[in-house]
Amino acid sequence: MKSFEGHALPGSYFLGLGLLWCVKHPIKHFMQKENKIFSANKYFQCLEVLEAVAKTSLSLIGFFAGQFIPGGPCLHLYNKNGNSWVNLLAWTHGTMYLAYGLSGIAEVLSALHLKVLPGLDHFMLSQAMFIQGLLFYFHGHDRLALDQHVHLLMLLPIFGGAFCSLFEVFLRNRPILELLKTSMFLLQGSWFWQIGFVLYPPWGGPGWDQSDHENIMFITMCFCWHYMAILLLVTLSYPTTYWCIKIWKKCIRLQDTERLKFVRSSYTLLLRATDQEGDGSKQPFLHS
């Protein structure tokens, strides 16, 4: 992951998942208010299964990609000839991906409504994030000050999301918890991208001055900006989704009303035509 792309790819994963939840959770919350059996809707269940399968697949792809890229360990952990470990950094990232892969498998089983423990999906997600946080805590040791600092800041959204997922094991369908967890995932994603820009600028050249204390002060302030912007985005997603659902339902009602008017008018015209045909058939008989 010692490259801009190595930070942008997991950042895109967390950003994509967070943006998906910005739409999914508000829709689920507002629809459940009006329809108590919405969570049992087959279409919604299919979407949850697809989401879980996608997360599992991406995690496994991330693991094997890290193993078999040029210079990767290729599933070799220890070199007996050189008496040394083989690319432990890749193995560290692979361990993180495997943890999220196990979480994805638990979500697939829960989404399929198999006989698994209630809340297993949220529990496994929280454990995956705890494992990620543990790996990140020791990830920056023996590095320069700014490098250590940007990675330590990442621990805040990691453990924040882990605690939110753990609370969801016992407190299901709580919009505040879902909002907070979504913001933690979005913050992880945006901060992965920020780390890439700080340490490995995509336009080339050296990264930021690692020993400058003002850079550390600025990057801390920048982290707060990221979080405030994400909180604003997630908070606005709920009223925006509410108004979109309201407009959608209004359009459906208008279409139903117009369809009903058309059916009524067609039925009226049909009755009139039937009456006229009936009157016409009686006239010759009366005349005779």
> Alpha carbon of 279 to those of 276, 285, 287: distances in Å?
5, 11, 12
Scanning the structure block, which residue is given the tokens 């997630």? 234
The pLDDT of residue 138 is 83
Return the sign of the alpha-carbon dihedral for residues 86, 88, 93, 97: positive
From the centroid of its chain, how far is CA 161? 12
The pLDDT of residue 113 is 78
CB 99 within 8 A of CB 158: no
Report residues of the chain scoring pLDDT below 70. Answer: 1, 33-43, 253-288
Report the alpha-carbon distance of residue 145 to residue 132 in Å, rounded. Answer: 21
Closest CA to 127 of 99, 152, 164, 107: 99
Q: Please state the φ and ψ torsions of residue 159, each to the nearest 5 degrees.
A: -70, -30
The pLDDT of residue 52 is 87
Report the alpha-carbon distance of residue 25 to residue 174 in Å, rounded. Answer: 10
| pLDDT tens digit sequence for 166-215 | 999 888 878 888 899 999 999 999 999 999 899 888 887 777 888 888 88
> Alpha carbon of 145 to those of 88, 133, 193: distances in Å?
22, 19, 19
The pLDDT of residue 247 is 81
DSSP 8-state code for residue 204: -
Sequence-ordered strand ranges (E) for 8-143:
78-79, 84-85
Scanning the structure block, which residue is given the tokens 């879902």? 178
Under 8 Å CB-to-CB from 212, ≥6 apart: which residues?
146
Report the alpha-carbon distance of residue 107 to residue 32 in Å, rounded. Answer: 21
The pLDDT of residue 256 is 61
DSSP 8-state code for residue 78: E
Please give the torsion angle defined by the CA atoms of residues 164, 165, 169 and 171, in that order, rounded to the nearest 10 degrees. Answer: 30
DSSP 8-state code for residue 77: -
In Å, the largest CA–CA distance within the chain is: 119
